[in-house]
Chains A and B, each alone.
Chain A
Amino acid sequence: QKEVEQDPGPLSVPEGAIVSLNCTYSNSAFQYFMWYRQYSRKGPELLMYTYSSGNKEDGRFTAQVDKSSKYISLFIRDSQPSDSATYLCAMSASLYTGNQFYFGTGTSLTVIP
């Protein structure tokens, strides 16, 4: 079983829709949670970073962590065609060197104009 599970999609939504992306995990030691966005043929880039449970908002993006359910979400409001990309969740038990991040497989999102 993978450490992190993520629905690969693909997900296709009309412009302006609210998008919900999710990951589940099995390791209760995970405390640091991230969302990366990866455009086609590019490297992943960090979107959001959260620690432990709770919500974090940045513009149109909201990250939620529910450690009791081992479930994290990324919401995108007023989705734009430029949001079309693959979104990867990543998580780790520690910030310190030597502790790797475990990535989900990514969800492919297309926002249709």
Chain B
Amino acid sequence: DTAVSQTPKYLVTQMGNDKSIKCEQNLGHDTMYWYKQDSKKFLKIMFSYNNKELIINETVPNRFSPKSPDKAHLNLHINSLELGDSAVYFCASSQEQGIGYGYTFGSGTRLTVV
């Protein structure tokens, strides 16, 4: 049973479109994250939610909007997609006080904007 699942795995879309990526974790973790991994494999945090509350909101364009309907779900909505948004987006989760065990990552959503 997948611990952190993201959908879709692949997303190809045109510039200017709006798209959403969904993430669900069944680990009972309190904190969820969105990371962006560029073509050079650099992982950078975008957002972090703890029990549905936004904790980290790094400098990302406001075209990106996270939504957490409950602590098991964290979705990412992207408006007016641009070529530079092409990347792999990873959802992750962790226990609030157990980050020592690290994050559990999903398998990623490969977004290509054409």
Residues of A within 8 A of B (CB): 8, 32, 34, 36, 38, 41-46, 49, 51, 86, 88, 90, 92, 95-101, 103, 105-106, 108
Known: A46-B101, A96-B97, A100-B48. A41 touches B40 (CB 8 A): no
How far apart are the CA atoms of A46 and B95 in the complex, in Å? Answer: 14
The 8 A CB mask of B2-17 against A (1 = contact, 0 = none) is 0010000000000000
Closest 4 pairs (CB-CB, A-B)? A43-B105, A46-B102, A103-B43, A106-B41
What interface size band does chain B fall in?
A: 20 to 34
How far apart are the CA atoms of A106 and B102 in the complex, in Å? Answer: 16
Known: A86-B41, A97-B31. A43 touches B100 (CB 8 A): no
Contacts of A100 in B (CB 8 A): 45, 48, 56, 58
